[in-house]
Amino acid sequence: MQTAVQAFRDHLAPIIDLRSAAAVLGWDQETYMPPGAVEARAAQLGTLGKLAHELFIADETAALLEMAQKEVEGMEYDSDEASLVRVARRDLEKATKLPSDLVEELARATSMAQQAWQEARAKADFGLFRPHLDRLLDLSLRKAGALGYEDHIYDALLDEYEPGMTKSELESVFDGLKSELVPIARAIAAVGNEAHLFLGSNYDAQSQWDFGVAIMRDFGFDFDRGRQDRSAHPFTTTFSINDVRVTTRIHDDFLPAGLFGSLHECGHALYEQGVSAGLERTLLADGASLGVHESQSRLWEILVGRSREFWAHYYEPLQDRFPDHLGGVDREQFYRAINKVEASLIRVESDEVTYNLHIMMRFDLEIDLLEERLAVADLPQAWNAKSEEYLGLVPGNDAEGVLQDIHWSLAAFGYFPTYALGNLMSVQFFDRAREEIPDLHGQIGRGEFGDLLRWLRDRIHRHGRKLTAGELLERTVGSELSAGPWLAHIRHKYSDLLGVGFR
């Protein structure tokens, strides 16, 4: 006889299929779709999204969930069955709280806002985007109200991306981070660091691509269960544990963009490829949270890919590929160049030291908007003031200021903090990996990543969504989220690199 859990799983499987099919269409839209297909594709995605949503919130789902719930009582917390029921209940509660007219309204408003945002950014004219953002803020306030929260309205939205995280928890981490990080960034700026001119100019695109792919293979990306393509904005998307897609962009005149973009997305993809096979075609086959996801991409991109050990192994092969550019640049110069720290206006181009400052200023502004203490009309001035406060720089126009990121045009309030959480968690996880793999630095210096990947698979990847970020940290690191290890990493790396002491 079929068990209730199996029946529930069978009921959810076609919903996962619809979502995966939508992801294929979304991936295609960003990679190969001709521009004329925009409207047709929006309709197709709308239909698939609506079908998946309706199937999910159907009475049958709740009925099957109740039966499955009885069956998993007494089962291990981590078992596939108990975890599926627990996570499905959380998802279903949220999905049913949102009135469908609000869901539809948000979908329509964001698709219009994205167009307006693109035009506004191209013309550096916030006025073109302003009415759309007003509307999205209004809808987001309604959404947060529908979802509900205990403490602060921000919690309802943050929970979409980082389940269980709250504004007050974030504030206590960010406050400590800010007071330590701002002086460190200033001290580094005062020392100044080398220009990276030799990173510019006419790097052959195919050679860049091949070099990145070779490292992805070494990291353990399985090209039989995934592929890489080009897109304007790099991303990773998953259609199955056995089909994970990454994209990258190659700049002929800036080597780090494509190279570290590939390593970053590869980190996301290794997570997805590492989810336990038994979770295929279930709600559990995904990352624990966006913060944990970002911890994996930043671990491979920065803690491995921008380390001195890593380039002990890979610099010669890179020089061999680009002798005209790098033949006369020694390894230490290269290492310094790819770790140059300089406050800049654009988040996606920022270095690992100043990156979190970009996130904290956005967090402050989102809180002010959601508390309705800041009007959308006053956002550009507020942005510029925050930019001055955190980065010491004031944007010359709205395109390099308030309009630079796509997130608000998607009504994704509460998303930005996950980038900083990922940075902090990456070091917490990596420190523990180093303790448990004593030769890790030696291995990285020989281009060997098997032990590291196996460790990450065992502690993080295989669980998929079974455990929350907090649970993963507790079990793996034995502590809560903390900025301390990340700050220690920054102090250690840059005092060595620049010969300056930090207090």
Q: How many residues form the binding site for Zn ion (CB under 5 A)? A: 2
If the CB atoms of residues 163 and 267 are measured against Zn ion, the closer one turns out to be 267
Looking only at residues 291 through 320 of this chain, which bind Zn ion when binding is defined by CB under 5 A?
Answer: 294, 297
DSSP states along 96-164: HHS-HHHHHHHHHHHHHHHHHHHHHHHHT-HHHHHHHHHHHHHHHHHHHHHH--SS-HHHHHHHHHSTT
Task: Quote the least distance from Cβ 308 to Zn ion, whole Å.
Answer: 23
If the CB atoms of residues 294 and 364 are measured against Zn ion, the closer one turns out to be 294
The residue length of the chain stands at 503
Q: Please choose, out of 64-72, 269-277, 288-296, 364-372, the segment that lies near Zn ion by the rule CB under 5 A.
A: 288-296
Rg (CA), the chain: 23
| Cross-strand partners of 248 | 230
Q: Take residue 327 and report the two structure tokens written for it.
A: 């033949």
Query: 319: Cβ–Cβ under 8 A, 6 or more apart, which residues?
Result: 326, 327, 329
If the CB atoms of residues 294 and 366 are measured against Zn ion, the closer one turns out to be 294
Residue entry with tokens 């890790």: 440
Task: Quote the least distance from Cβ 460 to Zn ion, whole Å.
Answer: 15
Distance CA 362, CA 174 (A): 12
Task: Quote the least distance from Cβ 499 to Zn ion, whole Å.
Answer: 31
Would you count residue 61 as binding Zn ion (CB under 5 A)? no
Given the residues 265, 272, 294, 366, select the one marked as catalytic: 265
Q: How far, rounded to the nearest angstrom, does the alpha carbon of residue 127 sit from its chain's CA centroid?
A: 29
Looking only at residues 117 through 156 of this chain, which bind Zn ion when binding is defined by CB under 5 A?
Answer: none
Looking only at residues 392 through 411 of this chain, which bind Zn ion when binding is defined by CB under 5 A?
Answer: none
Task: Quote the least distance from Cβ 294 to Zn ion, whole Å.
Answer: 5
Task: Quote the least distance from Cβ 297 to Zn ion, whole Å.
Answer: 4
Residue pair 409/390 in contact by the 8 Å Cβ criterion:
no
Residue entry with tokens 């790097």: 203
Residue 294 annotated to the active site? no
Name which of 167, 90, 98 is nearest 139 in CA terms. 98
If the CB atoms of residues 231 and 282 are measured against Zn ion, the closer one turns out to be 231
| Element at 239 (helix H, strand E) | strand 236-240
Looking only at residues 446 through 475 of this chain, which bind Zn ion when binding is defined by CB under 5 A?
Answer: none
If the CB atoms of residues 88 and 304 are measured against Zn ion, the closer one turns out to be 304
Task: Quote the least distance from Cβ 420 to Zn ion, whole Å.
Answer: 12
Looking only at residues 152 through 191 of this chain, which bind Zn ion when binding is defined by CB under 5 A?
Answer: none
Q: Write the interaction track for Zn ion spanning residues 245-284; mark x where CB under 5 A is met and - where it is not.
A: ----------------------------------------
Amino acid of residue 311: W
If the CB atoms of residues 247 and 476 are measured against Zn ion, the closer one turns out to be 247
Task: Quote the least distance from Cβ 412 to Zn ion, whole Å.
Answer: 14
Q: Please choose, out of 10-18, 286-294, 317-325, 442-450, the segment that lies near Zn ion by the rule CB under 5 A.
A: 286-294
If the CB atoms of residues 159 and 294 are measured against Zn ion, the closer one turns out to be 294
Half-sphere exposure of 184 (CA within 13 A, CB side): 25
Half-sphere exposure of 334 (CA within 13 A, CB side): 23
The closest residue (CB) to Zn ion is: 297
Q: Take residue 270 and report the two structure tokens written for it.
A: 């290794």
Q: Any idea which residues carry the catalytic annotation?
A: 265
Residues forming the site for Zn ion (CB under 5 A):
294, 297
